[in-house]
Amino acid sequence: MSYKVAVLAGDGIGPEVMAEARKVLVEVEQRFGLDITYSEYDVGGAAIDNYGCPLPEATLRGCEQADAILFGSVGGPKWQHLPPDSQPERGALLPLRGHFELFCNLRPARLHDGLESLSPLRADISSQGFDVVCVRELTGGIYFGKPKGRQGEGETEEAFDTMRYSRREIRRIAKIAFETARLRKQKVTSIDKANVLACSVLWREVVEEVAKDYPDVTLEHMYIDNATMQLLRRPFDFDVVLCSNLFGDILSDEIAMLTGSMGLLSSASINGSGFGLYEPAGGSAPDIAGKGIANPVAQILSAALMLRYSLKQEDAACAIERAVGKALAEGFLTGELLPAAQRDQAKTTKQMGDFIANAIQDGV
Ligand SMILES: NC(=O)C1=CN([C@@H]2O[C@H](COP(=O)(O)OP(=O)(O)OC[C@H]3O[C@@H](n4cnc5c(N)ncnc54)[C@H](O)[C@@H]3O)[C@@H](O)[C@H]2O)C=CC1
Ligand SMILES: CC(C)CC(=O)C(=O)O
Ligand SMILES: [Mg+2]
């Protein structure tokens, strides 16, 4: 089978971890007889530097012609002085999500074998496991609502964002959460702030309606503030966590850390046609960029999600996941997963990619 993938490595650690994902994909292609053509495009800060805008026309056209987008991360202090809409995040990533209507963001997280003691979970909790999927609405809510901006001056100046959700937007993401739960532990925890926000009241109403079609799935509602706490207190009780755009952004970072590191959480952003953008849940990590120490696992697992959801190559996706599992179970770890006293044993970004690629070559 042949496919076209647009590669947008972006900024900070983006190009470093993307190189490892590409290395792993080469092995996967050979082993499973796939023919993937990659086209690289500038995006984010790199595109601002080279073309003067974060999402050049050529990048967008290249993505339109591809079967999927493999994305690194964008942003960093270098571009923070620019007007908000010209910055990498608001000028490239959000427009890409909007342009392709990538409303469904899946962030699967589980505590890997070998990492139990590294998770900030207490030992008794980690022994019960942690395996959740965050199903996040990605093209609505306060990140996209209009009007947004600033007005006035001096002490009377004010800024405003608009949180807006339609029944249709809530219904389509809720359906995905229930379908996902059906294939797992049949539980959906829907996150909102219905004691305060009008959007959350509608959210709860529509989720209740959708739930009627899934009598086999248990639905619970939880306020976002309580959810941040319950995830720490009893993480093993969660299965599918259904969130709006803002709440999912926040909770998914917490979920990543419950598995040990931001560098482990992959992400699939998919539209109604199965087209998707696949990226690590974390950002460009300017604090470690250029040092060769970033964990490439989130990017590599995002490539696996691309194989699963857009290219429909389940066996290849599973092989990547097994190879990652092998690395972690054998204690082959990047520095952020190790206690400070053991950091001298940390593997580099490249060593991690090599190990995972070799495991696939060896038929893991
Ligand atoms: N999808 C994207 O492109 C995203 C972009 N950003 C942007 O990235 C920049 C930095 O944002 P931050 O808030 O610092 O979040 P961040 O996720 O980049 O970093 C937060 C912390 O996690 C660590 N981390 C993240 N990924 C890691 C990895 N693969 N391996 C090891 N450690 C890792 C970083 O070193 C840092 O200490 C900002 O410009 C932000 O807007 C943030 C989130 C998502
Ligand atoms: C630009 C941000 C909304 C990206 C982010 O933090 C995310 O999608 O998790
Ligand atoms: Mg985020």
Q: What is the pTM of this model?
A: 0.98
- Could you give the percent of the chain with pLDDT greater than 90? 95
Quick one: average pLDDT of 85-98?
97
Residue nearest to atom 16 of ligand 1 (CA): 283
Could you report the per-residue pLDDT of 293-302, keeping only the tens digit for each? Answer: 999 999 999 9
Residue 271 has pLDDT above 70, yes or no: yes
Quick one: average pLDDT of 35-63?
98
Residue nearest to atom 5 of ligand 2 (CA): 249
Asked whether 137 lines ligand 2 (CB < 6 A), one says: no
Could you tell me the CA-to-CA distances from 310 to 154, 234, 237, 266, 282 in Å, in that order?
50, 33, 30, 15, 21
Q: How far is the CA of 104 from the centre of ligand 1 (A)?
A: 21
Reply yes or no on domain 1-105+261-364 having CATH 3.40.718.10: yes
| Known catalytic membership, residue 225 | yes
Residue 85 has pLDDT above 70, yes or no: yes
Nearest to 338 by CA among 115, 12, 112, 16: 115
Quick one: average pLDDT of 346-362?
98
Residue nearest to atom 1 of ligand 2 (CA): 89
The rounded distance, in Å, linking the Cα atoms of 40 and 45 is 15
- Cis check: omega of the bond before 147, within 30 degrees of 0: yes
Looking at residue 123, what is its pLDDT?
67
Looking at residue 101, what is its pLDDT?
98
Looking at residue 283, what is its pLDDT?
98
Looking at residue 116, what is its pLDDT?
85
Looking at residue 118, what is its pLDDT?
76
Looking at residue 99, what is its pLDDT?
98
The rounded distance, in Å, linking the Cα atoms of 292 and 154 is 45
Could you report the per-residue pLDDT of 159-192, keeping only the tens digit for each? Answer: 999 999 999 999 999 999 999 999 999 999 999 9
Q: Which of 23, 193, 326, 347 is catalytic?
A: 193
Quick one: average pLDDT of 266-284?
98
Looking at residue 127, what is its pLDDT?
74
What is the residue-wise DSSP string for 46-114?
HHHHHHSSSS-HHHHHHHHTSSEEEEEE---GGGTTS-GGGSHIIIIIHHHHHHTT--EEEEEEE--TT
Q: Which residue has the higher pLDDT, 128 or 209?
A: 209
C-alpha atoms less than 13 angstroms from C-alpha of 344 in its C-beta half-sphere: 1
Per 3-state DSSP, the chain is made up of helix, strand and coil in percentages (nearest 5) of: 50, 20, 35
Do 120-258 and 1-105+261-364 have the same topology in CATH? Answer: yes
Closest-approaching ligand to the CA atom of 105:
2
Nearest to 238 by CA among 192, 170, 184: 184
Looking at residue 129, what is its pLDDT?
85
The rounded distance, in Å, linking the Cα atoms of 324 and 303 is 12
Residue 262 has pLDDT above 80, yes or no: yes
| Residue ranges covered by each domain of the chain | 1-105+261-364, 120-258
The rounded distance, in Å, linking the Cα atoms of 165 and 141 is 6
Q: How far is the CA of 331 from the centre of ligand 2 (A)?
A: 30
Could you report the per-residue pLDDT of 111-158, keeping only the tens digit for each? Answer: 999 888 877 776 666 678 899 999 999 999 999 999 999 999 999 999
Q: Which of 131, 161, 237, 253 is catalytic?
A: 253
Pick the atom of ligand 1 nearest to 335's CA.
Answer: 31
The rounded distance, in Å, linking the Cα atoms of 264 and 267 is 10
Could you report the per-residue pLDDT of 294-327, keeping only the tens digit for each? Answer: 999 999 999 999 999 999 999 999 999 999 999 9
- Could you give the percent of the chain with pLDDT greater than 70? 99
What number is the ipTM of this complex?
Answer: 0.99
Quick one: average pLDDT of 243-267?
97
CA 299 and chain centroid, separation: 9
| Known catalytic membership, residue 362 | no
Q: How far is the CA of 68 from the centre of ligand 2 (A)?
A: 19
Q: Which CATH architecture has domain 120-258?
A: 3-Layer(aba) Sandwich (3.40)
Q: Which of 192, 249, 278, 309 is catalytic?
A: 249
